[in-house]
Amino acid sequence: MVVADRDALGGEATVAQIRQAGGHGLFVACDVTRDSEVRQLHERIAEVHGRLDYAFNNAGIEIERGRLAEGSEAEFDAIMAVNVKGVWLCMKYQLPLMMAQGGGVIVNTASVAGLAAAPKMSLYAASKHAVIGLTKSAAVEYAKKGIRVNAVCPAVIDTDMFRRAYEADPRKAEFAAAMHPVGRIGTVQEVASAVLYLCCDGAKFTTGHSLAVDGGAMAI
């Protein structure tokens, strides 16, 4: 497994966990907003492994804090650069590798904000709608090349990003839990399980799909 992250400490820690579990891991530092770094990442994958069977594009950013008209151009550019350009660049280099070997699977992280409105997160919502658009379009374009492209759309998940957003006001965390009919927020493991499903042979007839991992939030 190759782990790409702009955070060296976080990337190395992930690889250490993989190795402790008996797997093989390699960390490559990469800023997904930079074409040269994304290209070098995939060149490294080809050099080390000779192929790319599965790719999970899961970069994100947290800066938006207000209504649409209160946003700045800098916020817009930063969110779109990571959430949209980053996914596009990764797929740009993943798809040729997969075509050369006769197929593969890509899973992109979108969000329930890509399926519905997200008040006070309009730029984030726009970026995640764009991820779903990229996912569907790539799925259709490369279906006959043996490549499946899907997205996972998590609701509120217990991550470091979530904790930073809600630690200052515990009432917000309670509100977030209440947004989900199951009465709690989701876990990283639950999202990972959804990604693994989309990669497995049991999902061979599934492509261009946006899978909500949301505790029932989109059913309301």
Active site residues: 124
Structural domain contains residue 219: no
Structural domain contains residue 111: yes
Structural domain contains residue 187: no
Output the pTM of the full model: 0.94
How many domains does the chain fold into? Answer: 1
Structural domain contains residue 40: yes
The CATH number covering residue 83 comes to 3.40.50.720
Structural domain contains residue 102: yes
Q: What is the 3-state secondary structure (H, E, C) of the chain?
A: CEEEECCHHHHHHHHHHHHHCCCCCEEEECCCCCHHHHHHHHHHHHHHHCCCCEEEECCCCCCCCCCHHHCCHHHHHHHHHHHHHHHHHHHHHHHHHHHHHCCEEEEEECCHHHCCCCCCCHHHHHHHHHHHHHHHHHHHHHHHHCEEEEEEEECCECCHHHHHHHCCCHHHHHHHHHCCCCCCCECHHHHHHHHHHHHCHHHCCCCCCEEEECCCHHHC
Structural domain contains residue 10: no
| Domain of residue 41, residue span | 31-153+208-214
Structural domain contains residue 138: yes
Structural domain contains residue 186: no
Per-residue pLDDT tens, the chain, 220 aa: give them. 666 666 666 778 888 888 888 888 889 999 999 999 999 999 999 999 999 999 999 998 877 779 999 999 999 999 999 999 999 999 999 999 999 999 999 999 999 999 999 999 999 999 999 999 999 999 999 999 999 999 999 999 999 888 887 776 778 788 889 999 999 999 999 999 999 999 999 999 999 999 999 999 999 9
